[in-house]
Amino acid sequence: MNTLIIARRVIKQLQGDRRFLALSIIAPLIIIYFLKLLFDAFSSPFPITDLMIPISAFILHFLCFILCAILLVQERTRGTLERMLISGYRQSSIIGGYTIGYLGLATIQAAAVLFESLWLFKLDYSKETILILFVVIWLLAIVSVMLGIFISTFARHEGHVFPFIPLIILPSVFLTGLFIDVNDLPGWAEFIGKCLPLHYALNIIHEIIKPEYSLSNTYLDFAILTGYIFFLWVMASVTLRETA
């Protein structure tokens, strides 16, 4: 019950913050358009079909993480997080409420990013593939929201969120299989890459965009990605502090 009350509050907050909403939806679309310009400028053909959906997933992962972390840190700096807890809302309700509240936005973001990529880069996938891609990107967005909430615990103000970008987000670019296969990395780097949730989302995407894919090859990755949601929920519930 309290989870839904907080979710309603988050939705209202998002609706009221037009600048935040615009940034959340328009920014990834602009970045993808810039990528289109970049890839078009290359003289030799670029493996767009293999790269574009994984890159789109990463962009959304990054934005959901950072925006949600900042929202939670704002709650902390304004004192409303502390007040919520002292009023009787529990950590798990707050995290659940935030996630559900953000779900609508994450759905719009995932759909917008996916359809823009398909349209701009003229990627021709079956309806089933597109649906699975949407589900993966959507799940990744939820994981990113959870990760943002978890990281917000370690930040006293909005600026403290940024050091986590080189710590968590940038390694995802290099070590999770976005540009190269993780198996080609040194053992320790491969281990780090496999600890990051983007790796499992990319595994699914790489499989699904194959002309002849097998859905059963993605079950484990889907399970791990979903497991990340529960793991981060528990971690964030345990670590969400009341005071700055």
Partner 1 sequence: MQNAVEIDSLCKDYGKLQALKNIHLKVPEGTIYGLIGPNGAGKTTLIKALVGALKPTSGIVKVLGMDPLRDKWKLRMQIGYMPQTPSLYDDLSAKRNILFFGSAQQIPDLERKTGEILAFAELTDRADDLVRNFSGGMKKRVSLCCALIHQPKIVFLDEPTAAIDPHLKLQLWKMFRQLANSGVTLFISTHLMEEALLCDQVAILRSGEILIVDTPLKILERGKTTVLISENGVTRESIIDSNPESLATELHRFGLNEHITSVKLQPDDMEDIVLSIIGKKEKQ
Residues near partner 1 (CB under 8 A):
1-2, 5, 9, 12-13, 16-17, 78-80, 82-90, 242-243
| Minimum separation from the CB atom of position 15 to partner 1 (A) | 9
Q: Which amino acid is at 184?
A: D
| Minimum separation from the CB atom of position 2 to partner 1 (A) | 6
Kindly tell me which of 12 and 210 has the beta carbon lying closer to partner 1. 12
- Mark residue 2 as left, alpha or beta (left: phi above 0; alpha: psi -120 to 50; beta: remaining): alpha
Kindly tell me which of 68 and 175 has the beta carbon lying closer to partner 1. 68
**What residue has token string 């053909």?**
45
Kindly tell me which of 74 and 226 has the beta carbon lying closer to partner 1. 74
| Minimum separation from the CB atom of position 22 to partner 1 (A) | 16
Q: What angle do CA 239, 5, 10 make, to 5 degrees?
A: 70
Nearest to 98 by CA among 165, 145, 61: 145
| Minimum separation from the CB atom of position 240 to partner 1 (A) | 12
Kindly tell me which of 36 and 90 has the beta carbon lying closer to partner 1. 90
Structure tokens of 219? Answer: 């079950």
3-state DSSP call for residue 128? helix
